[in-house]
Amino acid sequence: MKEFFKRYIGNKSFYREMFVVAFPIALQQLISGSVNLMDSAMIGRWGNIALGVGGSEISAAAVMIAGRFMTTFENVMIILAISCTIFIAQYFGAKNYAATKKVFGLVLKLTIGFGLASFILGFFFRREIVLFFATGVGSGLDMLRLGQDYLAIVAWTFIPYSFSVAISFCLRAIKKTTIPLMSSGIAALSNLVLNYIFIYPLGMGVVGAAVATLISRSIELSILVFYFFRHKPVFYGTFAETFDIPRDFSTNILRKGWPMIVAQALTELLAVFMFFAYSHIDSGNATNIAAVNVSTRVVELIFAFVGGMGTAAAILVGTRLGAGKIEEAKQNARWQIGYIIMMSLVTVVIMLSLIPVIQILFSFDEAGNQLLAVAMVLQALALPFLFYSNNVIFITRAGGYTKAPIFITNIPYLLVKAPIVAMFVFVYPSVLESSPFLQNVFTFLGLPVNLVIFIFVIDRFIEVLRAMVAFIVYHQAPWQKDLTKQTYKSFKKPVASSGKI
């Protein structure tokens, strides 16, 4: 037992450093997650006023449909930045500041190009995007109208966000986590206040929510740009220093990063598929869409409680690998896993305690509240497995093993979850009605005999499988690598930084 604690429980300096790194990001995610949840709640309550009984589920579902598109492309944009900033963390650890400027230039090119493409797709094909999930008949007709109105404005946020992502994640990689916290925190609080004003006093509804989001994204970018030019972090440079990137340099980084990008793209496609599956059970029932997605929003909020693990891994593990401290990096990785296991158990209790609060916030009808409660319980039980597998991905990619998401996430999803869900939703949707055994099992467990819940159980059980795969990857994959010795050999280290650390 003593050996176990020594192996997985860190010393004071480790937790002090992790707190400095992870706490600002955790607070940032907590603020953003809370604001997003309150946004959905305000839109839902407006739906009850504008559309009558059941309007909460309809309006919330409409915004969540548009939000699914936004989240999908924003997550891919983020992984484009992360796939490059793991190099910034290691070059920062190696004090090769000239290299960090080139990485920043590459990040900007990738995120801005992807952001423009996302905007064009979201703005000009908004009807097709919403109609992909909404049936366009009955309540689906209201979802189609509201979703289009929301997406027509919120798609513009891709433009400022593409700049913000590049600056924010590069700052995090060099331990400047306070500035991204401040910018996103101010933007999130501005969004919350503007949301209330535009939705209720001005009576703009979902359009008001979209306008508030666009303004808050612009505020976030303004703060980051001001800091960038005023304080000149180590990756700040002239136009030539930033964008004159040797082909072999960018090729080496992209060669390492493409597995992460492909893995994230596949993950997002699977998320879209699951959203599509849930939205087509019971012919596009708004309650199904709203309840399942609200529970997911709460998980994102809970994740903030353990937040900052991705950046913490890049700094606690990546910078040490870049400095050639391999054994120290491995020890920090073990301590980080020990921390995530302990904290994930705490989050189970938090998730369960939030159920009555979330039910009050969203004002769903009785069926919606029951479905929401069951979904949140199932989400809570899966949290420790989810946190462990994601943390292994963070650690291994900090060491350059960027194929980890493919093995840990994509393969279980593609080979197990997607085929099973497709079979029971689109091929054999009467599985519960025709199986007394499954009905008895659901009754014994106290679960409603509901196809949505059946699919959700399958969905959450896959997290157990992912954790098993993650355990194998962590112990078997060659992730303890110093990437600074493999790329950017043609640049000499400067004697001192041209910017502030």
Contact predicate 288/281, CB 8 Å: yes
Instruction: Estimate the crossing angle of helix 55-93 against helix 97-124, to 10 degrees.
Output: 160
Angle in degrees, CA 15, 17, 18, rounded to 5: 60
Count of CB atoms within 10 A of residue 241's CB?
A: 16
Residue predicted with more confidence, 257 or 483 = 257
Q: What is the DSSP string of 374-393?
A: HHHHHHHHHHHHHHHHHHHH
> What pLDDT is stored for residue 135 in this prediction?
62
> What pLDDT is stored for residue 304 in this prediction?
65
> What pLDDT is stored for residue 490 in this prediction?
46
Burial of 461 (0-12, 13-18, 19+ CB in 10 A): middle
**In this predicted model, what pLDDT tens digit does every residue of 204-219 receive, in sequence order?**
988 999 999 999 999 9
Average pLDDT estimate for 315-343:
80
Contact predicate 277/423, CB 8 Å: no
**In this predicted model, what pLDDT tens digit does every residue of 161-186 receive, in sequence order?**
999 999 999 998 887 878 988 898 89
- The Cα–Cα gap between 82 and 397 comes to 10
Burial of 404 (0-12, 13-18, 19+ CB in 10 A): buried
> What pLDDT is stored for residue 420 in this prediction?
94
- The Cα–Cα gap between 426 and 407 comes to 27
What amino acid is encoded at 41 in this protein? A
Residue predicted with more confidence, 217 or 141 = 217
**In this predicted model, what pLDDT tens digit does every residue of 31-84 receive, in sequence order?**
766 766 777 778 877 876 666 655 667 777 788 888 889 988 988 998 889 888
Q: Residues of 320-357 as b/e, b for ≥16 C-beta within 10 angstroms?
A: bbbbebeeebbbbbbbbbbbbeebbeebbeebeebbee
Give pTM, 2 decimals: 0.77
- For residue 403, the cross-strand partners are none
- The Cα–Cα gap between 59 and 50 comes to 9
Contact predicate 479/404, CB 8 Å: yes
What's the 3-state SS for 104-138?
HHHHHHHHHHHHHHHHHHHHHCHHHHHHHHCCCCC
> What pLDDT is stored for residue 488 in this prediction?
47
